[in-house]
Structure 1
Amino acid sequence: MKKIFVLAIFLLAAASGCETPQKAPPQEPAVEKKTETKEEPKPEAPTTTRDFYKSTESRVVAFADVHGDLQALRSILRATKLVDENDSWIGRDAILVQTGDLLDRGPDERAVVDLMLKLAKEAEAAGGGIIQLNGNHEIMNVMGDLRYIPSKGFEDFQDIPGEVPNVPEVARGRVAAWLPAGPYAKALATHGVIAGVNNALFVHGGVSMQVVRYGIDRLNSETLAWMRGVAPAPPQLLLAQDGPIWSRRYSEPEPSKSACDELGNVLDTLGLKIMVVGHTVQKNGATQACGGRVWRIDTGMSAHYGGKPHALDFSTDPPSVIVAE
């Protein structure tokens, strides 16, 4: 079924012109559960022992969507003084949060991912770390959705071995690299899709109260289990239009009152102060909304969008914006 799903997406790639969420691969037919009595999961209580949460006295920096642009990635890493001219980590014990979408659109996807993976090891060795979240484009690739891959994105993965019949030869290395249990899917199966650091909640699209009730650790762990090939499918909530990798509710130019109210409920329930999101390009650079409780940091840094790389530095309160020239 997985192979058929991948082939179908590949054949339909040219027919789709807009970025939309895809449903998970079909699972076993739904069976009515007459004895279903489960209660709705209760919100998680704020505590520093949760897996998705990290408390640190180190410097914290965050930036969003890279979309296969190695030059843009290097420029923001250097502007934040985390990496030197040789692409080596110099941030010491700093924590970098990248909110997903390293992939698709740009020509340097593999180089971008490889650099981030290398820096993660160097940062850890220096006492710091990189929290690499997965956005909708990482999840789409693991699902076999190839709609936004540039031609070079197929060429750069041709050396990845793997049996993926029913997939055109040009795409086999790419698909083998990113399908569940593939080497790149497993390499990014680390921090899930949502992370909390100090007073901030980081996510690609947005976190709703439905996600909080479902359980952030549960959503992360189920997503990572699927990426590692030990679960048959991702959680359905991950793929929902208003799920954590697809939501744009907090990223509209002027979020609605109901969106801001829900944002406040999410943060207050989790004991956090602000949410930091990517996914939706902010044409005028990093912006705040909802009384400063959400930062939108997808500034379209890749050449595909033509924006400038921006990052948030949490050494100040509120965070300061760093712009790479």
Structure 2
Amino acid sequence: MLFSKFLIYTLLLTNSLFITTALAHNNDEKSTKYDDGPYLFYNNNHIQQFDVINSKLEITNYAGPLAIPEEFKATDKDQYSDVKKFAAISDIHGQFAIFKKLLINNGVINDALNWQYGTGHLIITGDIFDRGDTVTEALWLVFKLEQQAAIAGGHVHYLLGNHEYLVLRNDQRYLHPKYKHTVSFFNDNLTEQYSVQSVLGRWLRSKSTIIKLNDFIFLHGGIHEDFLNLNMTLESANQAFRDSISKSKKELKANPLWATLHGKTGPIWYRGYFRDEQLKDEAVAGVLRKLQASKVIVGHTSMPSIEMRFDGKVIAIDSSIKRGKEGELLLWENNQFFRATLTGEKKPL
């Protein structure tokens, strides 16, 4: 049978994950050649594979060992208790090499890019997309690890950040030139490239934006009182965010709920922990009390390294990976937080 509950296809995820991104730089910018892919699309009883090779589109039928579900169900759980260890990272922004190195050198995956973190949890608090030129590689690695972790009793949580929502509504301002070339094959429309007919698009639409592990809240930007005033559960907030995917700015502004969620004080855009000089420890503590949480762990605002703020109530984990030079992973094990470096060194936080 070509089609069953799970389609089994070959997806080679090794150090040469998919098609290695290659840029042939010449003096003449027009002669730059891009490789990208694969992009997989559901087509009746098979899946089509779209690859950009030497800046030209090639379409084939896709076959390999990874399970590709017909549907990606939204997670039925946004809160997890009794988590013994986790690793968290944010704002990868197309820097696959740093992402991969951090995971390998800190024991989350092995050299073959396979899960080795057991029952641990890996959390990505948004912004795999934009800026860098290896977004596709990072997405497919997370896709694979999510399945492998589940088999091992662990979890991968890919939370959507503002740049995921931007891309999914066709905002191309922050795309690397390689991806501007790729989207030209999809009528210059990212909503086609990541549509519900695409494997990645369908998968992304199943993701959460805010989760809670033990008594720690994870999300991209932060929690402001405006969000609390909505009186939403994490589950209802995540579904509201999913419902807003691919909506235009005009549509978002016309819907009061979406306008709040996507506004400057919304969970994916809020920067108050870093830029609001009037924000005090007690205000942050008050927000956490309402959420029955001890800490909030966020990305979005780039720092030189992972750091705690507001007397440890906020952990900032955007470690400037987007620059393509350095980066850190937050580890929590034996009830202790560590900054994990590219070399595998663990520094108590």
Corresponding residue to 2:210 among 194, 199, 212: 194
d(CA) in 2 for partners of 1:148, 1:72: 19
Give, in angstroms, the shift of residue 209 of structure 1. 2.4
Corresponding residue to 1:301 among 321, 336, 339: 321
Quote the sequence identity (%): 22
1:1-325 equivalences under 5 Å are 51-156=77-182, 169=187, 171-172=188-189, 174-179=190-195, 183-214=199-230, 215=232, 216-227=234-245, 235-252=258-275, 256=277, 258-283=279-304, 285-302=305-322, 305-325=323-343
Contact 1:104 1:149 in 2 (8 A): yes
* Aligned residue in 2 for 1:18: none
Contact 1:180 1:226 in 2 (8 A): no
Contact 2:169 2:191 in 1 (8 A): no
For 1:251, give the aligned amino acid. Answer: F
d(CA) in 1 for partners of 2:265, 2:273: 10
* Paired residues, number: 259
d(CA) in 1 for partners of 2:87, 2:246: 27
Deviations 1:44-103 (A, max 9, x none): xxxxxx942111333211111100111011011112211111111111111111100000
d(CA) in 2 for partners of 1:270, 1:84: 36
For 2:310, give the aligned amino acid. Answer: C
Deviations 1:117-173 (A, max 9, x none): 1111111111111111000100001111110001111345667x6xxxxxxx4x24x
Contact 1:200 1:272 in 2 (8 A): yes
d(CA) in 2 for partners of 1:288, 1:207: 16
Contact 1:180 1:228 in 2 (8 A): no
Gaps of 5+ in 2: 1-75, 344-349
- Structure 1 248/128 Cα, relative in aligned 2: closer, same or farther at 3 Å? same
Query: Normalized against structure 1, the TM-score is what?
Result: 0.73
Give, in angstroms, the shift of residue 306 of structure 1. 4.4
- Structure 1 261/191 Cα, relative in aligned 2: closer, same or farther at 3 Å? farther
Per mean C-alpha deviation after superposition, the further-off stretch among 263-272 and 307-316 is 307-316
Cα RMSD, aligned residues only: 2.3
